[in-house]
Amino acid sequence: MKEQIRIMDLEKVLDVITGGRVIGSRDAAGKNPFVVTKSSNIPGKAITETPGLVVGDPDHPIKKIAVMMTLTESAIELAGASGVDAMVAHHPVADAASSGGVLLRTYLELYNLAVLELHEAFHGLHPGIAYLHGHDASFADIKYSNIPGNILFVGKPVQEVKTLGDMLSRLDTFMDLETEVRLLENEKQIRNCENIEETTVCTRGIILEGNPENSVNKVMHIFPHTGFTPVHMERALSQHPGVDTVLATISRVFPDHGLVKKAKQLGLNFVVGNSHALEIMENGLPLARAISMLLPDLEVVIFKERMTSIPINSFGGSKIQAYARLMAEKYLVK
């Protein structure tokens, strides 16, 4: 008879995967550098990351888990309806924000669900994001200029990537963008609406400075949302001579951004790669695979988000449109 897998076993596996970055107990939180509080100084909106078990009984048996990027009420509902026992979220979990505006513990306990999180504690463990974008990340700093989460990679391109165009073609292939395009086209036909947009297709890689034929010899890989600035770019270039291409991923910038202007001033190519919406493939899938390898008797599934933009008049069917108009006219528009 196989021994039951428990939540504590999953937490131990996460600790193994991260090389000891899981806190284990709340008493140890103050000693763990990966317990990080993030704040924009908006009153009441700060969040503290606590790598490991957030909600749940460590002794509770589990048979099926879901790995996801961000915990939401939709994820909770899918987990509860599909037999998931525990959810591993990459991004930090917070009361109300991650649970549809209600108390996290109350909602999760109703469905007998456990939640674990693993954000900064997972960063820097593998070179996958760099690899997918076509360089080797021989240098990695996950707190560049002493800013937690301000990640900087520097590396030379892999053998098959010689130009900016090669980099984007490689990315499209790994992300299976062709399938996402087909899904979107089918949805447009089914809904009889040509104006639907979807994140993966809408945010595909793009060159903001340079041409597809430009050669790539050394890459500075940055993540703008973490606080990377033009000053950091200039400093990193002085520390890593020979860089000719800046690659921005996870978050994106637009052509008039200071980072793009600084790259142009420094004579560097500037490429925007994967958006945050694809981190489930970059970080989520490797994490899920590692858990599956260490706990082979555990069923592991991936929760993949898909966000679409639909014009208001094309959203839903005629009945729900009539309902929305009734509610708005009778109760909301005074």
Backbone conformation region of residue 316, classed left if phi is above 0, alpha if psi is from -120 to 50, else beta: left
Domains of the chain by start residue, with CATH: 7-122 (3.40.1390), 128-277 (3.40.1390.30)
Mean pLDDT of 43-64: 96
* Helices 177-191 and 164-174: angle between axes, nearest 10 degrees: 60
Per the structure block, which two tokens stand in for 257?
A: 């951004």
Residue 46's alpha-carbon distances to 8, 73, 123, 204, 214, in angstroms, are 28, 20, 20, 31, 43
pLDDT for 26: 59
Q: Name residue 170's amino acid.
A: R
Res. 30: pLDDT tops 90: no
pLDDT for 1: 58
Res. 28: pLDDT tops 70: no
pLDDT for 67: 98
Per the structure block, which two tokens stand in for 3?
A: 């021994």
Locate the DSSP E strands across 15-91. 37-38, 47-48, 52-55, 64-68, 86-89
For residue 190, count other CB atoms closer than 10 A to its CB.
Answer: 9
The answer to whether 116 touches 14, Cβ cutoff 8 Å, is yes
Res. 27: pLDDT tops 60: no
